[in-house]
Amino acid sequence: MSRAKERPLSDWEKRLTGPQFEVCFRSATEPPFSGKYNDHKGVGTYRCVACGTHLFESTDKFNSGSGWPSFTNPANDLAIESHEDSSHGMIRTEVKCSGCGAHLGHVFPDGPRPTGLRYCINSLSLKFEEKE
């Protein structure tokens, strides 16, 4: 277990804004089309807003029309953990940051090739690092 996962929730609550904390550690979802990265076109890296783990590359981002930033792949196989989520009367696959356990969003099997996956991620769980 990483040290970030051992951090008490009260520490995360102090480090993050209220909305970021609600998404990352209370599994809230931002309203569709409201997040700052939904239409974002920058070139670089998307990291976990809580712990800085490298999660996604801009080259894997696509416009899914869903209202949330969408990616075809995580940055690497160790960046994200997935878990079954049966909340809200449906069964989905939740994705969390492997570094700190922050809720990121969900992954669906309706994405484009080559993976066929759509990682549907809350902007509030991300911070963008521009490529120099």
Which H or E run includes 128?
strand 126-130
Angle at the Cα of 66 (from 15 to 113), degrees rounded to 5? 105
User: What positions carry a catalytic annotation?
Assistant: 120
Which H or E run includes 87?
none
Which H or E run includes 79?
none
Give the pTM: 0.93
Tell me: the pLDDT tens digits for 45-58? Answer: 999 999 999 999 99
Distance CA 122, CA 104 (A): 6
CATH code: domain 3-130 is: 2.170.150.20
Neighbours of 90 (CB within 10 A): 8
Tell me: the pLDDT tens digits for 39-90? Answer: 999 999 999 999 999 999 999 999 999 999 999 999 999 999 999 988 878 8
Question: What size, in residues, is the chain?
Answer: 132
Give yes or no for a contact between 41 and 53, defined as CB atoms under 8 angstroms apart: no
In the chain, where the domains are located: 3-130
Phi then psi for 93, rounded to 5 degrees?
-110, 110
Question: In the chain, what is the straight-line distance between the N-terminal and C-terminal CA atoms, in Å?
Answer: 32
